[in-house]
Chain A
């Protein structure tokens, strides 16, 4: 059961990191000033769901992140969820070919036909030679430390709970009763 062991130790590590980070970020009990900072809550996913990478039909671009070009193709990161592949050989008429679902992804770079992306805590190498059939060629597990806080600064957030899974993103929330901040 090596994979289970990896998952368990991964979870343990997440837990340790979370505890550590949250202790640093707890609101002190004497803090009674009304707080107007934005509040975020974590979006959780299971390790199995996070590690499932699929080539899907083109879909709307909603939150464009990093961009990358190679051989007349344009790659657009959909922040936190994947990469749109666009045939851009005619820049007057870009055509969306596919959406590669990569939970937690924000970054990308390409060498030859291989696209490197962050897949939450893992680094993945994907063969994108055929943009409509993207295939995983290598996964390096736990290449990244788990981030236990949102990327925005000066915000409050619900402290992540590792029992609920891996944090793959953050959503604005109206819940003012949260205990972490940064």
Chain B
């Protein structure tokens, strides 16, 4: 009876609230604000600005009215730009030669702060607290790179400095959520690290049978893209990942 009543209210609110699009609010992408992308993203929304990085530039679009993106400032960045990660009013831009930091507190008008240079590599970046985690990968697209995780102290945004470099196998995307860090090792699997000490990650688990490229960790669920599928794991238990589901990637015929 109770269920019927709730369903009735649900249907009523659905019919009332969103008759123009035919689904209830709970069935739609409707909340205000931005979502969350992976570490390989080249598009990101920070506040009321959409930032796009191309190979050489950072482009700002005003999206105060999300339905009406309006072109804004274009900033030259150099070359080999790969990823953008917004964090606490700053933009962390991964390039093939280093990490570039911009202050984005003035909406749409990013101000250059600093560059942390490293060897030529592919390098997505994520940030938590005062630390940036950058993976450096050797590969055909990035030539002479090394395979490393660099931990960079960005407490002074104008003078980032590396505090630790940890060898990796073939690191691609990465994700951080509180006391846990995930690193995609490409064909060599997926790693989960304990980050209780943020400058000293301790390997908790290495799953070798998943080919992984990028991750989004959110609310104890890790979404992983790989060559064979999109895997979802629970990391509620920090000791071991629990597979929740897999969306199969089907071969091109």
Q: Give the B-binding residues of A (Cβ under 8 A).
A: 60-71, 73-76, 86, 88, 91-94, 96, 106-118, 123, 125, 127-133, 137-138, 140, 143-145, 151-154
Considering the chains assembled together, what is the distance between the CA atoms of A110 and B33 in angstroms? Answer: 8
Residues of chain B lying within 8 A (CB to CB) of residue A154: 140
A71:B223 contact, CB within 8 angstroms: no
Q: 8 Å CB contacts to A: which residues of B31-85?
A: 31-38, 40-45, 50, 52, 54, 59, 61, 63, 66-69, 71
B97 contacts the other chain (Cβ, under 8 Å)? no
CB contacts between A and B, total, < 8 Å: 166
B44:A109 contact, CB within 8 angstroms: yes
Considering the chains assembled together, what is the distance between the CA atoms of A67 and B71 in angstroms? Answer: 24
CB distance from B202 to the nearest CB of A (A): 26
B232 contacts the other chain (Cβ, under 8 Å)? yes
Q: Which residue of A66, A127, A145 is within 8 Å of B38 (Cβ)?
A: A66
B245:A93 contact, CB within 8 angstroms: yes
Q: Give the A-binding residues of B (Cβ under 8 A).
A: 21-23, 28-38, 40-45, 50, 52, 54, 59, 61, 63, 66-69, 71, 140-141, 143, 214, 216, 218, 221, 223, 225-226, 230, 232, 234, 244-245, 247-252
> Known interface pairs A66-B40, A66-B41. Does A153 touch B140 (Cβ–Cβ under 8 Å)?
yes
Considering the chains assembled together, what is the distance between the CA atoms of A13 and B223 in angstroms? Answer: 40
Residues of chain A lying within 8 A (CB to CB) of residue B61: 116, 123, 140
Residues of chain A lying within 8 A (CB to CB) of residue B22: 130, 133
> Known interface pairs A92-B244, A93-B245, A144-B54. Does A68 touch B140 (Cβ–Cβ under 8 Å)?
no
CB distance from B30 to the nearest CB of A (A): 6
- Which residue of chain A is the closest to B59 with respect to CB atoms? A143
Q: Which residue of A67, A110, A137, A153 is within 8 Å of B225 (Cβ)?
A: A67
Q: Which residue of B54, B68, B244, B250 is within 8 Å of A61 (Cβ)?
A: B250
Residues of chain B lying within 8 A (CB to CB) of residue A69: 35-36, 216, 218, 223
B43:A108 contact, CB within 8 angstroms: yes
Residues of chain B lying within 8 A (CB to CB) of residue A60: 248-250
CB distance from B231 to the nearest CB of A (A): 10
- Which residue of chain B is the closest to A153 with respect to CB atoms? B141
Considering the chains assembled together, what is the distance between the CA atoms of A91 and B38 in angstroms? Answer: 17
